[in-house]
Chain A
């Protein structure tokens, strides 16, 4: 049975923007869908509509077989009945309740014993043992985030909604918890919709990416596809034009990580990663240098034989889609393009320095 969101709706604010969502879909039970865009692009509103905290004026929202909202029948299922786990920005932990009471708040209609068991289980699972008597005000940012997750997860929700789950944390904690959250989401197997404005977070946590701007969905699809193949200039501007290629670590030595990406072998300057780790190799189009013929020696560690697949003019620049054993994108000025007399099918060499291949662990 499908446990996916299908949503198309319009939500307006009296003297504010209009949020227009056409055909938002999640994909599969264990997948994380990232709503990505700048602040004010409407992603939080979309999340709140899914949670039932805002009511759209038009359209409908379905989750699997369940109808959650249908405008023309004037039907809106209350948030209480949607079986959600919602983690808002800044977490909204109840300040007057202890950690244990916060986590147990949504757990009603179970026996006292069941309640105690699930509380212990959840506390242990999220590493919050010994904190159950504390107040939220006495916790660190990372602990607060885990309490908010625990409060949502103890009810075994059928859908998890996370609004900027990492933005309330300081830099180093954010980095550490990003990895933890990724593992947690993988373990859970609950479809998740996550809002973020941070591209690294989107890449690290998402399977599906929904790019939003000005209250509209610009593009949605697999994370690396959307990042690598933005359908238009607007999307490209938001995601930043870049190749995002799934790759696997072969070995790590002396600060250099060797990867297999599609048919190609890449070398990246990166902290050591275990052989076999799944990563995204990210390469900005501006960092790809193209030349005709093969250089004898060159300083960049990556020297790839590529074939031109397509050329697209975008203003004064030319976007060049290449086959490098994996899809690779480069940008050149029109002049450079004319000098090289590039044509589809042409064979070239692409040079990329090792530090310019940025790895995001999956």
Chain B
């Protein structure tokens, strides 16, 4: 491994971790709303959240490019308000990874929340606890295995993302190039040895994350 490769690994893990952190509050909030509340448009929101799972990632990337570009609704707003540029920066990497891994977290967390017996939340209400306290002291701890498993899965997904990232963030060495983009680049440049080395690292990281997630998903004996 040379220093460039180490830099790539470090950058990819950092981006994946950051996107997981971004996705966590949003994903848990959404999952809770889907599991515990009935509201209009629920099916629609559900569909939109799941869409990145089945849409070609380049298409998702293209949509993000439109939304966050200088002339896109979010892009213009962010640029005007904070002077922030998104496209072709590390921020675009985080956004792409977040959108692509959100469905995995939401689906896992939603199932985990649904499996928590509502009797526990109801009794907590009669004991004077507010909804936030109930979420953090009852629902989340009881769903912790499913939620953690989903988080790891989202993290693993973020580590390997390619299509959406290349659309919104480009493939700029030292700025937005992640492991999977680098593998692609090395193959393009006929540097197969480098490509295989990084592919190995990529597979190793993914393997560990999924293994941990599977371990958490198994029902534990008490």
Contact = CB atoms under 8 A, between A and B. Distances in A.
Chain A interface, DSSP helix/strand/loop, else mixed: loop
Interface in B95-141: 117, 119-120, 122-130, 137-138, 141
Interface residues of A, number: 23
B123 A80 contact: no
Given A92-B120, A94-B120, A80 B222 contact: no
B127 A96 contact: no
Given A95-B142, A96-B141, A137-B222, A51 B117 contact: no
A52 B124 CA distance: 12
A53 B125 contact: yes
Interface string A75-90: 0001110101110101
Interface in B119-176: 119-120, 122-130, 137-138, 141-142
B125 to A, nearest CB: 4
A106 interface: yes
Contacts of A319: none
A92 B127 contact: no
A155 B142 contact: no
Q: Which of B123, B137, B138, B141 has its CB near the most chain A CB atoms (within 10 A)?
A: B123
Nearest to B133: A108
B213 to A, nearest CB: 21
Interface string A139-162: 000000000000110010000000
Interface residues of B, number: 17
A125 interface: no
Contacts of B123: 86, 88, 92
B46 to A, nearest CB: 21
A106 B142 contact: no
B126 A79 contact: yes
A105 B127 contact: yes
A53 B124 contact: no
Given A95-B142, A96-B142, A79 B119 contact: no
Given A92-B119, A95-B142, A96-B141, A51 B126 contact: yes
Contact of B125 (A78, A96, A108, A152): A78
A82 to B, nearest CB: 8
A106 B122 contact: no
Contacts, number: 51
Interface string A56-92: 0000000000000000000000111010111010101
B140 to A, nearest CB: 10
A106 B122 CA distance: 12
A137 B222 CA distance: 9
B130 A80 contact: yes
B141 A80 contact: no
A346 to B, nearest CB: 56
Given A95-B142, A137-B222, A151 B120 contact: no
B128 A53 contact: no
Contacts of B117: 92
B151 to A, nearest CB: 18
A84 B120 CA distance: 15
Interface in A227-251: none
B127 A155 contact: yes
B22 to A, nearest CB: 28
B119 A88 contact: yes
A86 B138 contact: no
24 contacts: A51-B126, A52-B126, A53-B122, A53-B125, A53-B126, A80-B125, A80-B126, A80-B130, A82-B126, A84-B126, A85-B126, A88-B123, A92-B117, A92-B119, A92-B122, A94-B138, A95-B142, A105-B127, A105-B129, A105-B137, A106-B126, A152-B126, A155-B127, A155-B128
Given A52-B126, A95-B142, A105-B129, 11 more contacts: A80-B126, A84-B126, A86-B123, A86-B126, A92-B123, A94-B124, A94-B138, A96-B141, A96-B142, A105-B137, A155-B127
Interface of B: 117, 119-120, 122-130, 137-138, 141-142, 222
Which 5 residue pairs of A and B lie closest in terms of their CB atoms, listed nearest first? A106-B127, A86-B126, A92-B119, A79-B125, A92-B123
